[in-house]
Amino acid sequence: MTDNSNLDELVKQHQDILDAHTREHVQWHFNPETGSPYWLEKAKSFDFDPLTDVNCFEDLNKFPLFEDDELRGGPVDRWIPKALKGKPTYVFETGGTTGVPKSRVVIDDFRIDYENFSDTLPDEHFPKGANWLMLGPSGPRRLRLAVEHLAQYRGGISFCVDLDPRWVVKLIKKGKIDEVKEYSAHVIDQAMTILGAGHNIQCMFTTPKLLEALAMRLMDEGSSIEEAGIKGIFCGGTEFTQQWYRFAREELLGENVFITPTYGNTLMGLACGKPFDPADNYKITYYAPQPRAAIRVVDFDDHTKVVGYGETGRVKLFTMTKELFIPGFLERDEGEREMPHIKYPWDGVSGVRPFHKIASSTTVGVY
């Protein structure tokens, strides 16, 4: 049993860290010398001065909600802080099945995020020096480069498949389910080829649907994920439910293959899953990578009000890095507010699922 007074002290320390981080990054993004053209222009429309009126994390509620439609179209360098101009820059897209995709410019954030994530991975299941399989989307997405960096940071090499999720969503919307199955098989063919080529792959990133498809293919061929050499898997996606977690551990993987759930997107980075505890009955609780990003579970009708522990609300995201400032964005997800954990001494969220008012319009593709 964790000493509650020790946890309370850690919670307070990390709240102080978050408040200091907030002050530092608001000063950075709204200083005319260092800030980005977007935020310096936007500040003119506020009825407060970020440089003098934002002194703690709670003060971020003074900002209007961030609308992610602002991320569509160019010029994308309006998002680059003046202090970082001229550095080699990436652009990562999200969505884009229809219309102009939303994009985020990145210099080093994906590396920092995944190095921090690396520190949470148990080395016995994700051996240093082992090679990785990236069984997820390719193309203009952060994920592929991020997993590649994670593998390199841990001393390994990442092997990738080609996967275009936009094509799959188009097929689904046209009702071409047989073609979706063919495309899924094409992706799994690539993974099987990589795993069978003698690359010493022991770790992988994938999504629930693709992990299931790979495990079933291996079983059909008289093998298994474990026999293919995999020791550790980090897995993300809204399909990662409590029921699926149990199914994966008990049916797909067996007791010797470790799997950890993650929750992430292009704006936040990566939230880690609470360490597995049989007493939780496979409930999945995520903790944001504070202080670089924070999540709060807020009232459906008042996004400035946090719900009580165990209560349901919408996920509100805050991102504060030197490259990106998002002072409150309502995710398309809802869940339950969870207590701080000794490893992550700040609020968490469990039972993450599509926000009930838009759930029916969400198309989940092959991954």
> For residue 1, is pLDDT > 50?
no
> For residue 331, is pLDDT > 60?
yes
Mean pLDDT to the nearest integer, 131-142: 90
- Domains, the chain, with CATH or none: 6-360 (3.40.50.12780)
Whether the CA torsion 335, 118, 109, 187 is positive or negative: it is: negative
Tell me what the pLDDT averaged over the chain comes to.
Answer: 92
pLDDT value of residue 54 = 97
pLDDT tens, residue by residue, 109-136 = 999 999 999 999 999 999 999 999 999 8
**261 DSSP β-pair partners:** 235
Residues 260, 105 contacting (CB under 8 angstroms): no
Whether the CA torsion 331, 333, 337, 343 is positive or negative: it is: negative
Alpha-carbon distances, residue 99 vs 69, 74, 94, 212, 254 (angstroms):
11, 14, 12, 31, 42
> For residue 2, is pLDDT > 60?
no
pLDDT tens, residue by residue, 319-329 = 999 999 999 99
Strand ranges in the chain using DSSP code E only, listed in sequence order: 90-94, 102-106, 131-135, 158-160, 201-206, 232-236, 258-265, 269-273, 285-287, 293-298, 312-320, 325-338, 348-354
Cβ–Cβ contacts within 10 Å for residue 227, how many?
12
% pLDDT > 70, the chain: 96
pLDDT value of residue 8 = 92
Whether the CA torsion 353, 354, 359, 362 is positive or negative: it is: negative
pTM above 0.85, yes or no: yes
pLDDT confidence band for 359 (50 / 70 / 90): low
CA nearest to 205, candidates 284, 254, 293, 141: 141
